[in-house]
């Protein structure tokens, strides 16, 4: 890798330190930015191989996307796991690859293919199946952790990439959590035991979605049947009217987004202002370095009510589907929940 593990860990420590002077922090940010950007090369390589594997097997996917982890997300993850002595060099998801599938059967097919697949120049280190064993928070997805293995490539050798595969229903839940964090003004993805109504809401919704996909429910609701899920959801919906709050959120977008034509795996820097409810884009057909500079500058100047992400997608039409939280778009999530609510009317 371009930097040693100790250099990366040190930069991460300075990133979350309250005592670091401005010069040391600036140097740490530069190291983090450069190291983070090297992951895009490995991301593209892995994505190409996985896309080819699925295509040859006739497995269709709803969307795919590649991204490098936002600085704020890195900071939050390091701070939230500081008691576990987590270091920056140990993070497995600096480079993230995600595939979404229309239903649980397609996800199962993809999973069976991938668990036996050995990509060239990669080692599969770990598989985390959060669909068979959901997290207590309700999170469901399947993660594959790959390590790039090419001793002739000193810059990229040893970099880790996390592949996430999930159904569009599971994806809608995860994105709704990010959107709700804006309302709750706290990171609902963090391991915080604040027992907020939002956390309880997403736990019961996770159980509802698991039930509909005929997959294990989280421990809290694992023995619940349909009628019990209806009663539990009805109570929390009555207490908080949280679905109404999510449904009311939406940002304005540039009208030409769906019509934009790009080559495969080009880059986009997406900036959202949640207060003004606007989103803007900068597209780069081949200027990778320029895209990174724009992304890094945007992060450096980020306002309190803004979020920015740099992504690479096969089709710009997939941008909103892959990152609905940046549009505060909960349409699919709301649609699925309303369908469940309709199924509960038989008990009224």
Residue recorded with tokens 């996985």: 50
Residue with tokens 């280190």: 125
Q: What whole-number distance in Å separates Cα of residue 210 and Cα of residue 194?
A: 24
Would you state the pLDDT for residue 98? 96
Residues 6+ apart with CB under 8 A from 272: 251, 278, 279, 306, 307, 308, 326, 327, 328
How many angstroms separate the CA atoms of 178 and 157, rounded?
Answer: 32
What is d(CA 308, CA 213) in angstroms, rounded to the nearest whole number?
Answer: 33
The strands making up 142-148's β-sheet, listed across from edge to edge, are 122-129, 142-148, 160-167, 95-101, 63-68, 306-313, 266-273, 278-284
Go through the domains of the chain in sequence order and give each one's CATH number: 5-167 (3.30.460.10), 174-248+330-347 (no CATH), 266-327 (no CATH)
**Residue 79 burial (C-beta neighbours within 10 Å; 0-12, 13-18, 19+):** middle
Nearest to 142 by CA among 177, 201, 98, 181: 98
Number of residues assigned to the chain? 348
Closest CA relative to residue 310, chosen from 42, 29, 67, 47: 67
CB 275 within 8 A of CB 302: no
- pLDDT reported for residue 251: 63
Q: What confidence score (pLDDT) does residue 189 get?
A: 65
| pLDDT at residue number 186 | 62
First to last CA, the chain: 61
Residue 297: CB atoms within 10 Å:
12
pTM recorded for the entire structure: 0.89
Going by C-alpha positions, the residue among 164, 184, 183 that lies closest to residue 174 is 164
Closest Cα to residue 106, out of 162, 175, 176, 169? Answer: 169
pLDDT value at residue 210: 98
> In 3-state terms, what secondary structure has residue 100?
strand
| Helix, strand, coil % in the chain, rounded to nearest 5 | 50, 15, 35
3-class DSSP state of 56: helix
* Mean per-residue pLDDT pooled into runs of 10, the chain (348 residues): 85 86 87 92 94 96 91 86 81 94 97 96 97 96 97 92 97 90 66 73 96 97 96 88 80 52 68 82 80 91 85 72 81 93 90
Question: In this structure, what token pair is assigned to residue 6?
Answer: 């100790």
Q: In whole angstroms, what is the distance from residue 274 CA to residue 344 CA? A: 34
Residue with tokens 């001793």: 151
Cα 96 → chain centroid: 8
The single residue listed with the structure tokens 């945007």 is: 298
HSE of 173 in the Cβ direction (CA atoms, 13 Å)? 24
Query: Where does 283-330 have alpha helices with state H?
Result: 288-300, 319-322
Q: What is the H or E stretch that residue 31 is in? A: helix 22-37
Evaluate the CA torsion angle 55, 61, 62, 67 in order and state its sign.
negative
> Tokens representing 174?
């995860």
Residue 277 tokens read as 């409810």
Query: Which residue do the tokens 């993809």 mark?
Result: 110
């Amino acid at each position: 890798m371009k930097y040693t593990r100790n250099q990366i860990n040190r930069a991460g420590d300075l990133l979350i330190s309250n005592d670091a002077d401005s010069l040391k922090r600036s140097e740490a940010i530069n190291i983090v930015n450069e190291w983070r950007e090297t992951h895009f090369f490995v991301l593209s390589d892995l994505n190409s191989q996985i896309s080819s594997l699925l295509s040859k097997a006739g497995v269709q996917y709803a969307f795919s996307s590649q991204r490098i982890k936002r600085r704020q997300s890195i900071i939050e993850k390091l701070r939230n796991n500081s008691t576990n002595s987590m270091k920056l060099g140990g993070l497995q998801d600096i480079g993230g690859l995600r595939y979404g599938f229309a239903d649980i059967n397609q996800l199962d097919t993809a999973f069976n293919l991938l668990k036996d697949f050995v990509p060239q120049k990669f080692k599969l280190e770990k598989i985390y199946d959060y669909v068979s064993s959901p997290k207590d928070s309700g999170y469901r997805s399947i993660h594959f952790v790959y390590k790039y293995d090419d001793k002739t490539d000193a810059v990229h050798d040893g970099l880790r990439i996390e592949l996430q595969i999930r159904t569009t229903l599971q994806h809608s839940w995860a994105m709704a959590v990010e959107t709700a964090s804006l309302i709750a003004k706290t990171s609902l993805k963090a391991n915080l035991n604040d027992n907020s109504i939002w956390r309880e809401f997403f736990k019961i919704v996770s159980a509802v979605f698991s039930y509909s996909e005929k997959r294990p429910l989280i421990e809290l609701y694992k023995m619940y049947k349909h009628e019990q899920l209806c009663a539990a959801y009805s109570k929390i919906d009555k207490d908080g009217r949280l679905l109404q709050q999510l449904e009311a959120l939406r940002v304005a977008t540039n009208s030409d987004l769906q019509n934009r034509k790009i080559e495969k795996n080009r880059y986009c820097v997406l900036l959202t202002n949640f207060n003004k409810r606007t989103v803007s884009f900068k597209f780069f057909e081949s200027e990778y370095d320029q895209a990174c500079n724009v992304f890094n500058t945007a992060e450096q100047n980020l306002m309190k009510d803004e979020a920015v992400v740099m992504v690479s997608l096969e089709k710009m039409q997939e941008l909103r589907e892959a990152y609905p939280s940046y549009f505060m778009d909960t349409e699919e999530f709301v649609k699925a929940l309303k369908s469940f609510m309709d199924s509960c009317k038989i008990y009224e």
